[in-house]
Structure 1
Amino acid sequence: MEKRESSETEVAIGSDTNEPHYKPINKSIKEPSYATKDDQGSTTGDSSNLQPTHTNASEDGWEYVTGTKLYLVIGMVTLACFIMLLDTSIVATAIPSITSDFHSLGDVGWYGSSYLICSCALQPLSGKIYSRFSSKWVFMFFLFVFELGSMITALATSSNMLIVGRAVAGMGGSGLVNGALTIIAACVPLHKRAAYLGFMMSFGQIGILVGPLIGGALTQYTTWRWCFWINLPAGGVTALILFFIHIPSRIEKIPFRNNIKATLVSLDLPGFFLFAPTAIMLLFALQWGGIKYAWGSATIIGLFCGSAGNFAVFLAWEYKKGDDAMIPFSMIKIRIVWCSCFIMLFFFGTQIITSYYLALYFQAVRGVTPTLSGVYLLPTILSQMLLAIISGVLVGRLGYYMPWAIASAVLSAIGSGLLSTYTPTTSTGTWIGFQIIGAVGRGCGMQMPVIAVQNATPSKQTSIAMSIVAFCQTLGGAMFLSFAQTGFNTGLKDALHQYAPEVSSQAVAAAGATGFRHIIPEASVPGVIHAYSQAINHVFYIAAGAAAASFFASWGIGWKSIKKAKTVKPEA
């Protein structure tokens, strides 16, 4: 056996995978110790076919954050993700007041899309930036940009100024989720990471659930501007605490001032300028299709064709750049990576549809206030958070994440299917139980794609991998919200013809989910309620379909263990 330079040779065992990992090109960047398996399964010291031996800090030499500092880091990046995801949904209930102040009904679509488009377009570039500079300072920079956008929005004196503020906030938000994932990866060993990621992702995504509720309360009792002011104190506390905590670095960075040209080249800016319009045209098509323009209109078809054509050019450029590309092909072709991306896309599609349309069910069909609908969502919120933490702890102890991803898809699909059976008279025990089934599924699987990708890529590529996963999450939300909106609009119109033919569907749509009771005859209200219920049920079919799609993708993340490798001393 080939000996290492140390005086006492140790051989890592416990790796159970033959899947090739992404091979780093830059040999100057330090990587963890690697071991490989020969054809008989024994472990050798050969450094070809790199396989990481995931060990703890004392064994692998990496520096990790522990104790109170670790809890502060986890808490602060979680808080940043919470306010970012809160910002994506809180604007929904503030829009009516905003349009009244600025007389800008025609700009409604831009209030959400400007944020989403900027966030989605910048995410791959943000991952490349994290791979070159200190994760802590890059995270704080994106947090500053996000807070600046929130302040511009809160101070807006016109609709155009508000749209600019939302766009700036989207630019900042593009680097927060993947930054949080990168920081946690740097602070926590892989075999302990699942529990912390589960807490961060579950608590952060509660922001999507409670956004419309908080927005409604702030708009009702204060002003819509507080929907954006509340981001500032949370961001300030996060930045202040992170400033005084050292975050370990996993990559060797070239100082920007010493080699500006090399740094700019490494960011693959041409790739970004090709990717951004690709994403923007796709998102515009999804945002406008079936709402502002018909799906078969020249505008929507042109946007889809333009996005596809530009994407082909982008792929050609990335292929030419090789491993220096913004999205390296050698990473994307790894089965674990692209399967994890699909899981995240479909998972977040299910999550965001459930979040939006459960609240709509309680307010439109059951006729409760926004605050009370938030109480009715507690079974989803608490179950999802609890299972995310429990599954994370168990993955760390048992080692395998694929069974959790599969179980998550199955339970999410079943839960979404059961939600589609809600009626205006569904009993309390039934709607609580059905919520819990789906929430348990989503809770036990939300962090598994992230763990899978981090287990399949070397430390220096973690930030790029996380940016791809975060992009798929954002894209999945945009796609499935668009599908759900189209399905809901079509379903409501058809159901109104069936249950309340005497009511104008345009008038009901214009009045909104909570206002239709005040503009139609009392005798027609039950029919409209049944129409809303049926339309929402059809939307949950889409959520169930997305969860079913994630089931098939889950089998591709591999039967791999993240338990720390054992070390044995070979016989003399």
Structure 2
Amino acid sequence: MAQERSSQKGDQAEQVPDVSQQNKRHLVLISIIFAMFMVAINALIVATAMPSIVGDLGGFSLFTWVFSSYLLIQAVTVPIYGKLADLFGRKPVFTFGIVVFMIGSLLCGFAHSMLALIIYRFIQGFGAGAVQPIATTIVGDMYTLEERAKIQGYLASVWGISSVLGPLLGGIFVQYMDWSWVFWINIPLGLLALGGVLFFFQEKVEQKQQAIDYTGAMLLLVSVSALMIVFIQGGVSWPWTSVPVLVLLAVSVAGFIAFFYYEKRAPEPLMPLVLWKDRLLVTANTGALTTGVVLIGVSTFLPTYVQGVMEQSPTVAGLSLTVMSVGWPLASTLAGRLVLKIGFRNTAVLGGLALMVGSVLFVLLDPDKGPLWAGAGSFFIGLGMGFTTTTFIVSVQSHVNWKTRGVATSANMFMRLLGSTIGAALLGGILNSRMIRYLEMQEAAEALPAMDINFTSVLLDPEATEALSPESIAVLQSGLTIALNDVYWSVSLFALASFILVFYLPNKVRE
């Protein structure tokens, strides 16, 4: 590692992209910001629109698959794209990702069923896997350590800005236009990003004929997919001790074991295990995983709570999530400066504290507290994500040389996406199983006629809700409140894990 570090400046001097003029570098950065904004706004704008999409297409039990299918393929492809970028250059991989993402977005807008939407989201995620990690890597290539901390803070702020416009636009599109536009808005953003990169970004790459670890990717895909199915369907469609659940768990465990065994011997491993032998990288990557669960737990389920339980409009639901934007860019910008002054650990601890405060506010959330309370929780979660995400990325990129920066950056992104992927499945499974138990109890007590979990979709469709009696609506809202409270308790546990992990992050900034 010491030898690797000592050679960083030399490697960087030889390999950095040929973007010498300041105006070109700034134009490339603007294009990257458009691309990251496209992916970032997608996460929150879809979350805001999902209650209306479910109300239109039905299939409440498939709710979390819309997020899980997207996050799964994105997480699995991130390390592949990172490796491809190190071997063949950032530009072709980045361009491919933008094009595929736009195709998936176009198809999502035309989805006629929940199953079709899940498939199209899979395509969208296949493109998204190349956009964010390669964008961050390009910035790492173009700027020095001192510049990088500042620029990464701005880049991370894109997520904060997107959380202003994403939920707000989602609410406006759903309320005044059509939910298809939450996907179609990605097309002009993608074209702007594509044009800037194609015309202004130049790089010199020494291409080598090296193998790509497709076997490792497939093992990872199978392992994570099997685990996700268990989380979502266990206790809902299948009992936890049923044969399908046990078989899938066995497949997942065997797949993970085979993956790590294969990665030790692969000539060009998908995820070099040497990256997991360093204290800073292990801490930053594990922290990225736990914060990914926290983020998906808030962004996915909060709009459903505000619309289905509090009976607020899609716009209000979007605004309650938008408050996250006040904390995220503020913390991201401050983190980019603080890591140089007070160190990685001290900066990340601030984020861990904010995540804890935000998660506690969500645990205490009830319908009477209203959207303002939910917005306060979003604000602190935004602060926590801003401090931790920026610190993790800057610390990782400052710890490796050019040759491994792409795969190291992608590994960190992968862990956060993996956390969101598993989190969406795990938390969705908790929501579904708790709601099913509640409905069965109400049916046994004759407080509600027989209905399955998909009947919960009625709460998200104002026209369908009018056909229900006030008593039935009250019972369904009570069940959704209890189920979502269990979700937020789970989120708080992952926030606590994130807070503990940041104390193991080395504090010294490498010169």
TM-score above 0.5? yes
Aligned to 1:253: 206
Aligned to 1:173: 128
Q: Which residue of the other structure, out of 492, 497, 506, is the alignment partner of 1:544?
A: 492
Q: Distance in 1 between matches of 2:62 and 2:305?
A: 26
Pair 1:558 & 2:506 matched: yes
Pair 1:511 & 2:458 matched: yes
How far off is 1:541 after superposition? 1.5
**Equivalent residues of 1:94, 1:227 under 8 A apart:** no
Larger deviation, residues 387-396 vs 270-279? 270-279
Q: Which residue of the other structure, out of 270, 281, 302, is the alignment partner of 2:247?
A: 302
**Equivalent residues of 1:420, 1:536 under 8 A apart:** no
**Equivalent residues of 1:115, 1:167 under 8 A apart:** yes
Give the SS at the match of 2:9: coil
Q: Distance in 2 between matches of 1:122 and 1:431?
A: 34
Q: Which residue of the other structure, out of 144, 147, 151, is the alignment partner of 1:192?
A: 147
Aligned to 2:183: 228
**Equivalent residues of 2:348, 2:387 under 8 A apart:** yes
CA shift in 2, pair 1:146/1:269, >3 Å: same
Aligned to 1:79: 34
C-alpha root-mean-square deviation of aligned residues, in Å?
Answer: 3.7
How far off is 1:31 after superposition? 3.9
| Runs of at least 5 residues in structure 2 that lack an aligned partner in the other structure | none
Aligned to 1:40: none
CA shift in 2, pair 1:61/1:444, >3 Å: closer
CA shift in 2, pair 1:188/1:286, >3 Å: farther
Letter in 2 for 1:408: G
Aligned to 1:37: none
- Structure having the higher helix fraction is 2
Aligned to 1:477: 420
Task: Flag the structure with more relative contact order, 1 or 2, with Cα contacts below 8 A and sequence separation at least 6.
Answer: 2
Aligned to 2:470: 522
Residue-by-residue CA offset, 1:548-567 (whole Å, 9 max, x unaligned): 111222123212215xx4xx
Letter in 1 for 2:34: L
Larger deviation, residues 203-212 vs 110-119? 203-212
How far off is 1:235 after superposition? 0.4
CA shift in 2, pair 1:189/1:325, >3 Å: same
Letter in 2 for 1:285: V
Q: Distance in 2 between matches of 1:199 and 1:124?
A: 24
**Equivalent residues of 2:232, 2:428 under 8 A apart:** no
Larger deviation, residues 368-377 vs 510-519? 510-519
Q: Distance in 1 between matches of 2:119 and 2:145?
A: 40
Sequence identity (%)? 23
Q: Distance in 2 between matches of 1:122 and 1:194?
A: 26
Q: Which residue of the other structure, out of 466, 488, 497, is the alignment partner of 2:409?
A: 466
How far off is 1:442 after superposition? 2.6
**Equivalent residues of 2:41, 2:162 under 8 A apart:** yes
Instruction: Map 1:326-475; keep pairs closer than 5 Å.
Output: 326-396=270-340, 398=341, 400-426=343-369, 431-475=374-418
| Runs of at least 5 residues in structure 1 that lack an aligned partner in the other structure | 1-19, 35-53, 256-261, 566-572
**Equivalent residues of 1:94, 1:216 under 8 A apart:** no
CA shift in 2, pair 1:98/1:419, >3 Å: closer
**Equivalent residues of 2:320, 2:371 under 8 A apart:** no
Q: Distance in 1 between matches of 2:51 and 2:309?
A: 21
CA shift in 2, pair 1:172/1:62, >3 Å: closer
Residue-by-residue CA offset, 1:210-253 (whole Å, 9 max, x unaligned): 6566445434543443333221111001111122223556xx52
Larger deviation, residues 515-524 vs 239-248? 515-524
Give the SS at the match of 2:206: coil
**Equivalent residues of 2:175, 2:315 under 8 A apart:** no
The structure having more radius of gyration, on CA atoms, is: 1
CA shift in 2, pair 1:87/1:437, >3 Å: closer
Q: Distance in 1 between matches of 2:213 and 2:343?
A: 35
CA shift in 2, pair 1:172/1:462, >3 Å: same
How far off is 1:273 after superposition? 3.5
**Equivalent residues of 1:64, 1:186 under 8 A apart:** no
